[in-house]
Amino acid sequence: MSNVSVISGKSSEELAKKLSKRIKANLIKSTIRVFPDGESKITLSGKISKKKSIVVQSIYPPVDSNLIQALSLISKAKEISSEVIAVIPYLGYARQDREFLSGEIVTMKVLAKLFKGVGASKIIAVDIHSVIGLKHFTIKSKNVTAIPDLVKYFKKLNLKDPVVVSPDQGGKDRAQEFAKEFGSEFIALEKKRDRKTGKVQIKTKNADEVMGRDLILVDDMISTGGSIINATQFLKKQKCKQVYVACTHALLMNNAEKKIKNAGVTKIVSTNTIPGKTSMVDVSNTISKAIM
């Protein structure tokens, strides 16, 4: 695929490099100069293909800066390439996919217009928080899952009679999919929120199944880690053995990694959609299949 360019955004350098190797494409790197007022200037090194470009840039914090850079890279690629695919492994703003309260702006609708406006012909995301968000896009859109990649990692670990656990009912389908691929049982915890105090309590009937077993807590993303911490503390009281966390996107804001470990988690395993200490699982193969 020498007539294809992979343009690496600053937020996804390692993933872009792996993807370009996998599809045998020409890798174009970007350098960024940030001015004292916060503006950034992007310079690309290398010759962009006239046929097809793939821009790889995750939109994690600083979200707005990474978004502007993604749009700028796509716009530049479109000046030269006839087709531009936007690979946005972590798509920030995906939680703002509908108007929950009157007057709220549906930011995903704005993003859909921006990506189309700068010239993207297709957008690929990995484990987007809400697939509804992609319905706002009029260009082709595809959401791929990192669950098989994460499962592959966990199969290599020597776990004791493992159970897959979803920290809440909202992630039940994800945990079920993970357990099916992994070949184990799964449970989804039930949370009850006190309307007066706002305190969340876990009330789950079949939690005694976890006694003496290793657990894999599965989530799509971890931001501050609140639900993972609550779930871990609850599960530890049920006398489970080790607790592992598997997630696609590890944002780990406000010292979340330390807090999660302090709650009793043995290891956090995430993918390289967001680079960091926990990103041990590579999703470049899964993305490459979505591009073809």
Burial class (CB in 10 A: 0-12, 13-18, 19+), 264: middle
Residue of 116, 191, 259, 267 marked catalytic: 191
DSSP 78-138: HHH-SEEEEEESS-TTTT--S-SSTT---HHHHHHHHHHHHT-SEEEEES-S-GGGGGG-S
Q: Which helix (H) or strand (E) holds 10?
A: none
- Given phi > 0 = left and psi -120 to 50 = alpha, else beta, which region is 38? left
**Strand order of the sheet with strand 243-250?**
185-188, 163-166, 215-222, 243-250, 265-271, 279-281
Active site residue 191: yes
Catalytically active residues are: 191
